[in-house]
Amino acid sequence: MPLFLRNITEKIYLCTVEFFLPYISMEKTTIVIDDKIPFIRGVLEPYASVCYLPPREITREAVRDADILLIRTRTRCCADLLEGSRCRFIGTATIGYDHIDTEYCRSRGIEWVNAPGCNAVSVAQYILACLLRHTERSGVSLSGKCMGIVGVGHVGRQVETYCRRLGMQVLLNDPPRAEKEGAEPFVSLEKIARECDYISFHTPLTYTGPYPTYHLADFRFFERLQRQPVILNAARGGIVDEAALLEAYFAHKVSDMVIDCWETEPNPLPDLLRNAFIATPHIAGYSVEGKANATRTMLAAVAARLSIDPNRVTVSPPPPVHPAITVSELKKALPQAVLKVYDPANDTSVLKNAPDAFEQLRSHYPLRREFSAYSVAPAAVAQKLQVWGFAPVLDSVL
């Protein structure tokens, strides 16, 4: 072959390889995905080899040849799972990341991301529904009562907003934020224990560092309680020492308990489950919108890693089947609307009747919608409820 033809042939070959190399590389990327992450099926298949597995099947053998893992809290990412694998990227479609051994990942050059704030609105709306259900039973107005919020991140701030709108006094405890931002407006945990009628926990679960949260609410904490508060935990089970909580409840230092996260899940303590006012299987953040936000975060992270146009990996949840809510009593519009969207008493009844089904209830939980998916009628209350996140009134429900 003449030299000039050989040079032209080589240039064509090199240009062809350069053009198709990104696509060839993407086809070689293997991604293992927790099959309970919603709205993600079919999105990444054009760019990678994708395998969907239930959490119990995400084993060392299953991830050995995976380049990327997309998981939830049930998958413990540590040496037992990852040693010997080629995984270099983990995405957890959750706010928390205590199921990831971050030190091990750092030592092995494994990058990881979580989805902070993805379901903050969902958890806060769960707390609001629990408060409204509790005041309905007790007959005591929330206005003027004192709420203590322990952990004022994405969720805690949203809970604070709702509580202030209800006319509650709010005390905030967040030592890491206080250290960075100054003491005001934060208070000590001791002050929370002394002065609050409700105490809601929204911290991550940490065991080390200057402010560990494991058993943050321990025997000493409950001994300091002065006002027989309602204790709410929709963060992580280990934040509350459940043996200490039960002892405080039986000693009438705690009036009621709202528990979504359990220290011994998926096997909640029978006495705690039986006596809790609200008891749910770790689903406070399980809204369609919260799940979609987490999935979007995972897709954006994978897109950046594989140089995919992010506009090609998007998710859009379907609208609710019945997007209109009608309230019958204008003076009780808020509780009626909120509890029609989500009533935690229903999940409580199901779990208490089938405690052994905790994991099944959580894994097959029907995703609920947030307030923004619904419009409220009549029009007289629609505008009032928009401040709570409900959609504008629809012509079809006027």
Buried b / exposed e along 302-315 (16+ C-beta atoms within 10 A): bbebbebeeeebee
Structure tokens at 362: 């959580």
Contact by Cβ (8 Å): 69, 32: yes
Tell me whether residue 236 is one of the annotated catalytic residues.
yes
Calculate the alpha carbon distances from 379 to 332, 335, 375, 385 in Å: 15, 17, 10, 10
Task: Count the Cβ atoms, other than its own, within 10 Å of residue 145.
Answer: 21
Task: Count the Cβ atoms, other than its own, within 10 Å of residue 156.
Answer: 25
SS3 131: helix
Name the active-site residue from 282, 362, 368, 369.
Answer: 282
First to last CA, the chain: 81
Please name the helix (run of DSSP H) or strand (run of DSSP E) that holds residue 383, with its range, or none: helix 379-386
Calculate the alpha carbon distances from 101 to 61, 79, 106, 139, 217 in Å: 19, 8, 9, 46, 24
Name the active-site residue from 160, 242, 263, 265.
Answer: 265
The residue type at 388: W
The residue type at 131: L
Contact by Cβ (8 Å): 78, 101: yes
Distance CA 242, CA 222 (A): 11
Length of the chain: 398
Tell me whether residue 134 is one of the annotated catalytic residues.
no
Please name the helix (run of DSSP H) or strand (run of DSSP E) that holds residue 147, with its range, or none: strand 146-150
Tell me whether residue 282 is one of the annotated catalytic residues.
yes
Residues in CB range of 182: below 8 A, 6 or more apart: none
Q: How far, in whole angstroms, is CA 278 from its chain's centroid?
A: 18
Name the active-site residue from 236, 362, 368, 369.
Answer: 236
The catalytic site residues sit at 236, 265, 282
